[in-house]
Structure 1
Amino acid sequence: MLPILLLLLPASSPALAWIPFEDWESGNVTASVGDSGQCICHVSLPDITFPANRVQHMQEVSKDLILEVEIQMKKIVVYSGKLEVYLEELLDLTVRVALLESNPDNYIKLDFELLRIELREFEALVSQLKESLNSSSPMFDSLYTEIHNMTAIVNQLETYDKSNLDMIRIEFAKLQKKLEDCQKDQELIKPDIGNCNHTGILSITKPMVVQMNAHLNPSYQYGGWGKDSKPVRGYESMYFYGGHTTPYVYDFRLFSDYGNLLLRAAFKIHSIPRGWEGAGDNFIIHRNSIYYQLNAPFSMSKLNLTNSKYEYRVIPAASKRFSYSYSTNQNMDFAADESGLWVMYASEESKGKVVIAKIDEKSFGIEDEWSTGAFKQLAGNAFMACGVMYATRSVDLNTEEIYYSYNTQTKEEKHLNIRFQKFQEKYSNLDYNPTDQKLYMYNHGYYVSYNVRFNRE
């Protein structure tokens, strides 16, 4: 209400005649006679000022709410993708439990430890979903409870009779049914290792997301992982990982086998000495030697893991101006396949198009070169398989495609459309391994792999 208005008039003033008597006693108008005989009127008027400050406040609140809704929607999309990935891992766990049951003599403590690790990751995912979506749905509580029950069962079965492994498989089936967003099992492929009697890649399977990097930190977005492409005796099962927060290379971790990779139990960590630090993410291990890009001088570098000897070779034509689209400093891309060791780069002379170079492993020099029609800066990455270079590019946030190939034997170029799923939008390393015919991708801090199917018509 507005402040009271006082009117001082003589009691006999005709101005009072227009005010109805009943209003004098109302809540809006009251009257009284003063000591000097004057009439005092008290008038209260409603506050009709436009509340501009309130409207502005409401607009600000509305903007904040809209932003919060967008953030929550993005979280839903991200966690939806994670659910699909964990479902595939769940299917893999089910198969592994069945193998344990069918081969009780091969039962070891590590098998149960791996199950416990992956159950903890399921638990973390459900907790993140519940907290991020601010949901108190009974579904989340039920999933959380069942994961704890399965963990208890795994612990018990370590001391009970091995035939009780059936219980684990039943519990995994229940959890898989509750998640509801099931996808088909990854297609089983029996690769013909070492045989290039085919016409090229036919398809790529769905991604198998192993887990987050050995640092357990999503900030380690740059790096790579995989297996030795031509292992020496005694290191056939070895895996490597090099992860960094920037596109520079300063150490590598070696794991004796897949189980120790999952347990993050490296048997050796190579810290690269000052002056030999690398750049980019396209490094590989071939014949127990790590090949990576050196920036000072700009060259290809080699670390022999057996004797810890370092070497480098300059490629005069290679340029530092051209990198893949997902990451900087990816100027030299090393690859290995059934026919040997390769390095891919772009030069000023090639006008930014990829040049394939065959590396002579004995002299650590360039044996031969081929110019392709693939612009390096438009490609997400590239790899070699059976003497053919395959270049990839992004289709959308969740899809990548092999769009180009160059055959070094026939000098034939092809434009392809072989699509495959990505776990997350960007990745920093993609390499083919001829020992198991798989693609190894380092996808935004996660180990991801694919089976490759060749056209063997």
Structure 2
Amino acid sequence: MSQSHIFILMIVIPLSFSQSATGKECVCDLKNLDPPFPKDELTKVETAVLKCIGSITSEKMTDLDRLVLGLQQRIKQLEDDVVMLEKANSNLYAAVSLRIIELEFGEIQDLLNKLNRTTSDYHHQGVQAAAQLDDMKGAMVELEKFDKMQVIKKYRENQMKKTLEQCKDELKASSPPPTASPGRCGLGQMVNVAGPRTSSITPYSTSYAYGAWGRDMKPAPGDENKYWLVVLTSSNVYGYYVRQYSTLSTLLLGLGLKDTYISNSNPTTNTIQGPNMVMYSNALYYNCYNTYSVCRFNMTTRAISTVALPSDTGYNNKFPFGHLATSYSYTDMDFATDESGVYVIYGTTSNFGNVVISKIETSNPPVLGQTWKTSLYKITATNTFMVCGVLYATRYLDKETEQIFYSYDTKTNKERYDLKIKFKKMQTNIEFLNYDPRDHLLYVYSDAYILTYELIFQ
């Protein structure tokens, strides 16, 4: 500590002196007239904060969302079944339908009871938290009286200045992202990402951090509401079956599932490798095990057909997604859907590890269609998705924020690196991300959580 600081401290503290001289000795009594700092009170506040944080967790808060979503889906299903009953001509069919409706009423009542209990618990927890916050606020006001040098006041002023600067930066919007012409898909500029709209841990809990989920982008009649889920059950690298659910609520509640096996174990020639895949026209498209090929798995016949990418395509972690702190294992190939079909995004040595986009013609077997080369170095992005023929890339900003920073328009071949569209994350990493043109949602798999975000168009 410098001499100037010592001098200021001596001036601030009220002191009283008494002197007595005995020969050449001088004795001084130093007395601090301020009361002692109540460190026990500070410890109590810290303990209360830790208890409050422990009682309100993200897992508990998602329970209510899951129940509400499940209830909405069950009520919609009940309405559909009642309509079918009204149209029924057969007495036997009507009797069966009535029994189904009776069971659905029972399930809805169970969900309502659980929702009421959960809501009551949250209300009680909220009242307790509010009381604790009032107590902590009062204690902190008293403790601030000991801040003689106004350190807290200056800290608040600095935080306010920092927040204002951040707001100014966010208001400095970049020029608009590339806009698809109305003739292509009828959407305007993408201006924001809202959400998450859906947030839930998978039915597997936190066992598998890598996976993918979503809907069939071109479903068969009657399958419009189906959802699929794939988790990489072997070392966060391989998967060998697809789990399907009839509705979103059954997925969230872990009910009514159907497993379709690609193979009997991991890994085999046709095993899913990496978390990036899409479902299109009742077929799953993914990176075939240990090759630079695209696999197409027919969900009905279980037949598999393949198409090879260029021989210099990166695979087995040669050109994965990632950021400075880590890379996302076996994400060399990304699959995306938009209004026109299926794409595969990958890197090649001939393009210096930069992103290459290829359209997949969804025939049986599939074939590669038009290809575009970009200047985006693949390892610098964390994920990609397509909207109206425009490729968007995301990057990791911090544990709570992801940013759409790049775009490539396949119609005009124009690239941009100055996009600044941020969205909040529930977990640190995003292992899978894909756009659904039917509902304009991004489907996200993030550290064993499944989420949706809404794309906002001007």
2:306 is aligned, of 308, 312, 317, to: 312
Give the superposition deviation at 1:276. Answer: 1.4
Give the superposition deviation at 1:303. Answer: 0.5
Q: What's 1:332 paired with?
A: 333
Q: What's 1:76 paired with?
A: 53
In structure 2, how many angstroms separate the alpha carbons of the residues matched to 1:78 and 1:138? 13
In 2 relative to 1, CA 77–387 (structure 1 residues): closer, same or farther, beyond 3 Å? farther
Contact 1:93 1:115 in 2 (8 A): no
Contact 1:209 1:446 in 2 (8 A): no
1:392 is aligned, of 384, 391, 394, to: 394
Contact 2:262 2:297 in 1 (8 A): no
Gaps (5+ residues) in structure 2? 1-42, 84-100, 132-181
Q: Secondary structure at the match of 2:219?
A: coil
| 1:323 matches 2:320 | yes
In structure 1, how many angstroms separate the alpha carbons of the residues matched to 2:221 and 2:274? 29
In 2 relative to 1, CA 421–412 (structure 1 residues): closer, same or farther, beyond 3 Å? same
Q: What's 1:296 paired with?
A: 290
Q: Quick one: which amino acid aligns to residue 286 of structure 1?
A: Y
Q: What's 2:225 paired with?
A: 237
Q: Quick one: which amino acid aligns to residue 230 of structure 1?
A: K
Give the superposition deviation at 1:195. Answer: 6.9
Give the superposition deviation at 1:370. Answer: 0.8
Q: Quick one: which amino acid aligns to residue 76 of structure 1?
A: I
CA offsets 1:346-404 (integer angstroms, 9 cap, x no match) = 11122221111111112511111111222221111111111111101122211111111
Report the more deviating stretch, 198-207 or 221-230.
198-207
Q: Secondary structure at the match of 1:329?
A: coil
Q: Quick one: which amino acid aligns to residue 277 of structure 2?
A: F
Q: Quick one: which amino acid aligns to residue 304 of structure 1?
A: N
Give the superposition deviation at 1:99. Answer: 9.0
In structure 2, how many angstroms separate the alpha carbons of the residues matched to 1:112 and 1:281? 37
Q: What's 1:202 paired with?
A: 191
Contact 2:434 2:443 in 1 (8 A): yes
In 2 relative to 1, CA 78–406 (structure 1 residues): closer, same or farther, beyond 3 Å? farther
Q: What's 1:446 paired with?
A: 449
Give the superposition deviation at 1:338. Answer: 0.3
Instruction: Map 1:42-81 to 2 at 5 A.
Output: 76=53, 79=56, 81=58
CA offsets 1:313-354 (integer angstroms, 9 cap, x no match) = 221231120111152101111111101110000111222211
**Max radius of gyration: which structure?**
1
Q: Secondary structure at the match of 1:259?
A: helix
Q: Secondary structure at the match of 2:223?
A: coil
Q: What's 2:160 paired with?
A: none
Give the superposition deviation at 1:297. Answer: 3.1
CA offsets 1:252-291 (integer angstroms, 9 cap, x no match) = 1011222321332344202221431121101111000001
TM-score of the aligned structures, taking structure 1 as reference length: 0.62
Give the superposition deviation at 1:111. Answer: 3.6
In 2 relative to 1, CA 120–312 (structure 1 residues): closer, same or farther, beyond 3 Å? farther
Give the superposition deviation at 1:206. Answer: 1.4
In 2 relative to 1, CA 253–95 (structure 1 residues): closer, same or farther, beyond 3 Å? closer
In 2 relative to 1, CA 342–104 (structure 1 residues): closer, same or farther, beyond 3 Å? closer
CA offsets 1:80-104 (integer angstroms, 9 cap, x no match) = 555665676688689889999x999
In structure 2, how many angstroms separate the alpha carbons of the residues matched to 1:397 and 1:454? 26
In 2 relative to 1, CA 119–386 (structure 1 residues): closer, same or farther, beyond 3 Å? farther
In 2 relative to 1, CA 83–396 (structure 1 residues): closer, same or farther, beyond 3 Å? farther
In 2 relative to 1, CA 236–279 (structure 1 residues): closer, same or farther, beyond 3 Å? same
Give the superposition deviation at 1:234. Answer: 2.0
Q: What's 1:425 paired with?
A: 428
In structure 2, how many angstroms separate the alpha carbons of the residues matched to 1:89 and 1:422? 18
1:253 is aligned, of 243, 252, 268, to: 243
Q: What's 2:15 paired with?
A: none
Q: Secondary structure at the match of 2:413?
A: coil
Give the superposition deviation at 1:300. Answer: 0.9
Aligned length: 328
Instruction: Map 1:97-108 to 2 at 5 A.
Output: 108=104
In structure 1, how many angstroms separate the alpha carbons of the residues matched to 2:116 and 2:397? 33
Give the superposition deviation at 1:438. Answer: 0.7
Q: Quick one: which amino acid aligns to residue 327 of structure 1?
A: Y
Q: Secondary structure at the match of 1:374?
A: strand
Give the superposition deviation at 1:197. Answer: 2.4
| 1:272 matches 2:262 | yes
Instruction: Map 1:166-181 to 2 at 5 A.
Output: none
Moved over 4 A (4+): 72-75, 77-100, 102-108, 113-127
Q: Secondary structure at the match of 2:53?
A: helix
Q: Secondary structure at the match of 2:428?
A: coil
Q: What's 2:358 paired with?
A: 357
CA offsets 1:56-102 (integer angstroms, 9 cap, x no match) = xxxxxxxxxx9xx89x96993995555665676688689889999x9
| 1:343 matches 2:344 | yes
Q: What's 1:45 paired with?
A: none
In 2 relative to 1, CA 347–99 (structure 1 residues): closer, same or farther, beyond 3 Å? closer
Report the more deviating stretch, 368-377 or 105-114.
105-114
Q: Quick one: which amino acid aligns to residue 313 of structure 2?
A: A
Gaps (5+ residues) in structure 1? 1-65, 131-136, 143-192
Percent identity reads 29
Q: Secondary structure at the match of 2:203?
A: coil
What's the RMSD between the two structures over aligned residues?
Answer: 3.9
